[in-house]
Amino acid sequence: MIRHIRGTIADISEGQLVIDVAGVGYLIHTVTTTDHFKLDTEVKFHTYMAIQERAQDLYGFLTRDALALFTILLTIPKVGPKSAMQIMQKADTELLRSSVLSNDAAHLSKMSGIGKKTAEKIVLELKDKLENFSGSYTNTSGDNVQQPTYTADAIDALISLGYPQSDARQAIQQLPDEIQTAHEAVREALKELGKA
């Protein structure tokens, strides 16, 4: 089992990289987007190797926490590696953990765009497992992440004004750190949504 890979980035495409290790190129599936990486730079991934009848795939994560969460997601019935990656592309470690521990599938769905039924399944299946998850709760880019307290209220306000949930979520999540209240967030988000 390959548990980590350190090498040079030889190729980049959305959702996957080729890492050159001593002349051998390893294809790594990753949740991190392409703008986080540059060709010919050295990187280390914590990896999970999925062995199936017709494929052997490597899934890579920049932090051990993200790898641990990925393996926990795999314990959910009918969630395989690709589904787990799709979940992690939408929701970072802290959002998943806080939503599961507070038994709040609606919050998880609203903040990430994960479908309501899938969010409910995640919350139901992972509650006991995430209580003992001892990670430092970093996102898949390796950065500490905490959603501002106004985020959910601001998204609700935009939805009530007729904006799609995905547009509302994206507009709020792109706001600068200086925003302190839901009122300010909605006002600034409306300016950006008006430009679209």
Share the mean pLDDT of the chain: 82
pTM: 0.65
Same domain, 124 and 72: yes
Helix (H) or strand (E) holding 179: none
Both structure tokens of 151: 């985020």
How many structural domains is the chain composed of?
3
The per-residue pLDDT for range 96-149, each reduced to its tens digit, is: 888 888 888 888 888 888 888 889 999 988 887 776 665 544 443 444 345 566
Q: In this structure, are residues 184 and 154 in contact, taking their beta carbons and an 8 Å threshold?
A: no
The predicted structure's pLDDT at residue 40: 93
The per-residue pLDDT for range 60-75, each reduced to its tens digit, is: 988 888 888 889 899 8
Q: In this structure, are residues 31 and 85 in contact, taking their beta carbons and an 8 Å threshold?
A: yes
Query: pLDDT confidence of 8, banded at 50, 70, 90?
Result: very high
Q: What is the mean pLDDT of residues 27-45?
A: 86
The predicted structure's pLDDT at residue 125: 87
Residue 136 lies in a domain: no
Q: What is the mean pLDDT of residues 38-59?
A: 90
- What CATH number corresponds to the domain at position 117? 1.10.150.20
- The candidate with the shortest Cα–Cα distance to 163, out of 119, 110, 98, 93, is 110
Residue 141 lies in a domain: no
Same domain, 69 and 55: no
Same domain, 54 and 69: no
Range of the domain at 42: 4-61
The predicted structure's pLDDT at residue 22: 94
The CA distances from residue 152 to 20, 93, 146, 168, 173, in Å, are: 42, 17, 13, 10, 10
The predicted structure's pLDDT at residue 100: 87
Residue 140 lies in a domain: no
Pure H helices in the chain? 64-73, 81-90, 93-101, 105-112, 116-131, 151-160, 165-173, 182-195
